[in-house]
Amino acid sequence: MAEWNEGRFNTTDGLSLFYRYSEPAQKSNNVLLFLHRGHEHSARIMPFADKVSQQNYWCFAMDLRGHGHSDGTRAWAENFDVWVKDLNSFAGHIRAKYELSSQDTILIANSVGSVTALSWILNYGPALKGCILGAPAFSIKLYIPLALPFLKLARKFSDKLFVTSYVRSSLLTRDEAQARAYDEDTLITKKIGVNILVTLYDTTKNCFNRLKDFETPVLVFTAEKDYIVKNALHTTFINGISSSEKKHVLLTDFRHAIFHERDLQKVVQPCQDFISAQFKQTITHLPAVIPEARTHTLAEHKKLLEKGSIFQQIYYAGFRLLLEKVGKFSNGVSTGLKYGFDSGVSLDYVYCNRIAGSNLVGRIIDRSYLSSAGWKGIRRRKKNLKQTLSGILKLLNERGIEPVVLDIACGAGRYLFETQQEMNFPLKLQLNDNDNNSLTEAKKIAVEFKARNVSFTQQDAFSLSGDLADTPHRPDIIIVSGLFELYDNNPQVHQAISQLFNIINNGGYLIYTGQPWHPQMELIGRVLNNRRGERWVMRRRIQQEMDLLVSSAGFSKLNTAADDEGIFTVSCAQKLN
């Protein structure tokens, strides 16, 4: 058995989480990252990890917040996505402390951990070598009628409600010794927060709406006699994903806790075969080789560019007429109609998030408008942009560098002035946009913030002046936010990013946003106008496609942040010396 060490890391919200790790017997950069079942903790996974790894790989396993030795309210989190964010923080910690990459990692998860893994892969694009999902809890069997609607209703009255698991150890495994170990383990919590349970279903639903975006090599195990989860969705998952390498194994007579079952070699051997095969593969993405667009997202974009059926034309024409005649009483809608819903002026209104209208009806519409899923995601994107930018600015300041920040499509730029004001050291801002209305608004906001050391340019982001590369103060940070989803052509986007690579300082950082999916993509494309008065049609890119465009231009990706729904991402990459 390998020697396991212990450690702790901090999450994005400052919580301290506990983890265990073991090192390979011989030097290796290959990593196995394990996620335990709900209710349990990392020590439970160690024996299985030892069997699978045979000390050939690094092994890491964390205690979820509220579990085992990790901090946090027992068995509770604000929502399921918090666990996903914690996994992303853990991967970042492994990269920073041990210099081990997610690209050399295979993730192994059981039950609820499999949903965490699925959401992380779709929302953050870690480019894993592969993943193994054991009895994934895509749909939990709730034996009490109407249990889920009742829990959703109860959650409206309190966010700190818990339910106690009905699961007995004998329903989890046929192995009597493993059942006794489960019953006697005082670190296992038998309850689970209602928040987690309810939002687990929401997360799974969102993920299954995006199965075609899943490209990671995967091995799925289904326990034939699983009393905890519904197995039908395992087949739906395998059939729906785009992974070129996928395998589905049915374990006869096995129960849910497949990593703690009898005949464990029936799980260990397929895992070892899969792991060995994936680590033998060397996938190289050469610089300047433009990644292919994902065909299903191109098809979506092409379909949106078309007029649609007669029914769709009538429906959305009616929607647009309603927007122009009644929606205009909302300040948010009227701003979008006038300047374009994608304009910096419109987005600044969304960022400010203050309900306003010319009458009561307008204010009601404005409330609904500002609370849409897309605009909520946009505001979360702003927070993630500020957090990412602030972190890099502080890092550069510690190195004795007075940072120069260039935003090539700044819009109104409010978050830049807010960030500059929050820093206790000088920094220079360069704001560029090809939209005159956005620049006019940005200049007004600069005066409002009494911003100093700010310059403005009006250039096309895809053909920036060479002066930016010749200046003695090249940008240390370049920001591209909300731009590339407006363009469907990967070569055009790649050319723009390559141009930024030439402009930025050596060691500089590129902050870029992505839009892996959007629940209102068709409504936006058929009803809302952009700043040019045309239909606002976007082409989404899965996170891995966006990351490959950045890396093919020469940058090295560092991290990604996402909103709870995974609609908008903020990523950071570096131009290495």
Give pLDDT, residue 166. Answer: 80
318 assigned to some structural domain: no
Within a domain: 489: yes
- Strand 31-35 relative to strand 58-62, pairing: parallel
Over range 500-525, report the average pLDDT.
96
Q: Which of 265, 280, 295 represents a domain boundary (last residue)?
A: 280
User: What rounded mean pLDDT belongs to the chain?
Assistant: 95
Cα 82 to Cα 197: distance, rounded to the nearest angstrom: 13
Residue 214 lies in a domain: yes
pLDDT at residue 508 in the model:
97
CA dihedral 188, 190, 194, 200 (to 10 degrees): 60
**What local confidence, expressed as pLDDT, does residue 285 receive?**
57
The pLDDT, as a whole number, for residue 283 is 67
8: β partners: 18
Please give the full DSSP string across 30-65, using - where no structure is assigned: -EEEEEPPTT--GGGGHHHHHHHHTTSSEEEEEPPT
Structural domain includes residue 464: yes
Query: Which CATH number does the domain housing residue 429 bear?
Result: 3.40.50.150
- Are 392 and 273 part of one and the same domain? no
The per-residue pLDDT for 282 is 79
Asked if residue 469 lies in contact with residue 398, where contact means CB atoms within 8 angstroms, the answer is no
State the pLDDT confidence band at 372, using cuts at 50, 70 and 90: very high
Q: What is the pLDDT of residue 577?
A: 74
Cα→Cα distances 118→48, 102, 208, Å: 21, 15, 10
For the chain, what is the domain count? 2
Strands, sheet with 477-480, edge to edge from the N-terminal-most edge strand: 454-457, 428-432, 404-407, 477-480, 509-514, 569-574, 556-562
DSSP letter at 357 equals B
Q: What proportion of the chain, given as a percentage, has pLDDT over 70? A: 98
pLDDT of residue 517: 95
Interval 163-169 mean pLDDT = 89
Amino acid 242: pLDDT: 97
d(CA 30, CA 282): 12
- DSSP-assigned letter for residue 529: B
User: Which residues constitute the domain of residue 71?
Assistant: 5-280
What token pair was written down for 485?
A: 């989803």
288 pLDDT above the threshold of 60: no
Q: Assess whether 246 and 387 both reside in one domain.
A: no
Count Cβ neighbours within 10 Å for each residue of 87-121 and write b for 16 or more, e otherwise.
bbbbbbbbbeeeebbbebbbbbbbbbbbbbbbbbb
Least confident of 230-239, 289-298, 522-531: 289-298
Judged against a pLDDT cut of 70, whether residue 472 lies above it is answered with no
User: Hey, which bits of 137-235 come out as E strands?
Assistant: 162-164, 191-193, 218-223
Of the candidates 369, 475, 393, the residue with the CA atom closest to the CA atom of residue 432: 475
pLDDT tens-digit map of 131-144: 999 999 999 998 88
Say which range, 150-159, 299-308, 475-484, 561-570, has the weakest mean pLDDT. Answer: 150-159
Residue with tokens 């009742």, as numbered in its chain: 150
Phi, psi at 45, each rounded to 5°: -90, -15
Convert the pLDDT of each residue in 85-97 to its tens digit: 999 999 999 999 9
Judge whether 339 lies within some domain.
no
pLDDT of 556: 95
| Contact indicator for 89, 9 with CB cutoff of 8 Å | yes
Both 271 and 412 in one domain: the answer is no
- Asked if residue 321 is part of any domain, the answer here is no
Domain boundary residue among 254, 280, 306? Answer: 280
Question: Distance (Å, rounded) from C-alpha 153 to C-alpha 132?
Answer: 35
Contact (CB, 8 A) for 170 and 179: yes
Mean pLDDT (whole number) for 295-300: 94
Question: Which stretch of DSSP H or E encloses residue 547?
Answer: helix 543-552
pLDDT of 178 strictly over 60: yes
Angstrom distance (rounded) from CA 18 to CA 65: 8
Give the tens place of pLDDT for each residue, 430-457: 999 999 999 999 999 999 999 999 999 9
Residue 372 lies inside a defined structural domain of this protein: no
What is the three-class DSSP state of 225? coil
Which among 239, 264, 280 is the end of a domain? 280
The reported pLDDT for the residue numbered 290 is: 80
pLDDT tens digits for 1-37? Answer: 789 999 999 999 999 999 999 999 999 999 999 999 9
Domain harbouring 267, CATH code? 3.40.50.1820
What average pLDDT does the segment 545-567 reach? 95
**Residue 271 shares a structural domain with residue 402:** no
Cite the DSSP H helix spans in 186-264.
194-208, 232-240
Residue 69 lies in a domain: yes
Of 564, 202, 188, 576, nearest to 380 by C-alpha is 564
The pLDDT of residue 287 is: 59
- Taking only Cα atoms into account, the Rg of the chain, rounded to an integer number of angstroms, comes to 25
Q: Are residue 198 and residue 71 in the same domain, yes or no?
A: yes
Q: How far apart are CA 430 and CA 410, in angstroms?
A: 9
322 CB-near residues (< 8 Å, 6+ apart) = none
pLDDT at 284: 60
Residue-wise pLDDT for 382-420, tens only, equals 999 999 999 999 999 999 999 999 999 999 999 999 999
